[in-house]
Structure 1
Amino acid sequence: MKKIAILGLIAAGAISLMAADGAALYKKCAGCHGAKGEKKALGKSVAIGGWDKAKTVEALKGYKEGKRNIYGMGALMKGQVVSYSDEDIQAVAEYIEKLK
């Protein structure tokens, strides 16, 4: 029984290590959007810091699918998020929502 409990703890730890880290994912966004999402990316976009999670998820999925091209940034943003999984998008959206 102890072995099963230990294996369960190890599995839970491995899953939490694999969970998407919004702060880490946002680091590649910060170059254009600023550390707190306070910048207009390349002088074109609006500041994204504090955006509602659902709004960010919708925007990132739109860019990933190639269906969004706000401020002519569609291709650039698609390149930034194409490797993001749905879990990554959720995590970075949660992180952005907390930025102020």
Structure 2
Amino acid sequence: MDATADQASGLLKSLANRHRLLIVCQLLDAERSVGELAEMLGIRDSTVSQHLAVLRRDGLVAARRDGQTIWNSIASAPAREILETLYRFYCAPEERGEPAAADGAAGGRETC
């Protein structure tokens, strides 16, 4: 039980950063490159790369190389399920009875 508590604690620590949470919200829809994430979130490529390294280290994000592009995606079913629950409660206004924003974040999920 201690091992699973440590695992859950690590996952929650990773998500406790605003930029990392926004990154994984965008990865729920599709795998994305550093450049795409940086453009969608309005932050520098280097900042996205640093946060992705933490997310990969903690097992939330997986990377796949295709030529010179590295595609990032959600790494596990448990992580995806937790993230989708967070998204549903905090990032999906239409599911809370609020109108959705007319201009979503560059074709991805509306950010939190």
TM range (shorter): 0.3 to 0.5
Higher Cα Rg, which structure: 1
Higher relative contact order, chain-length normalized (CA < 8 Å, sep 6+): 1
TM-score by length of 1: 0.40
Normalised to the residue count of structure 2, the TM-score between the two structures is 0.37
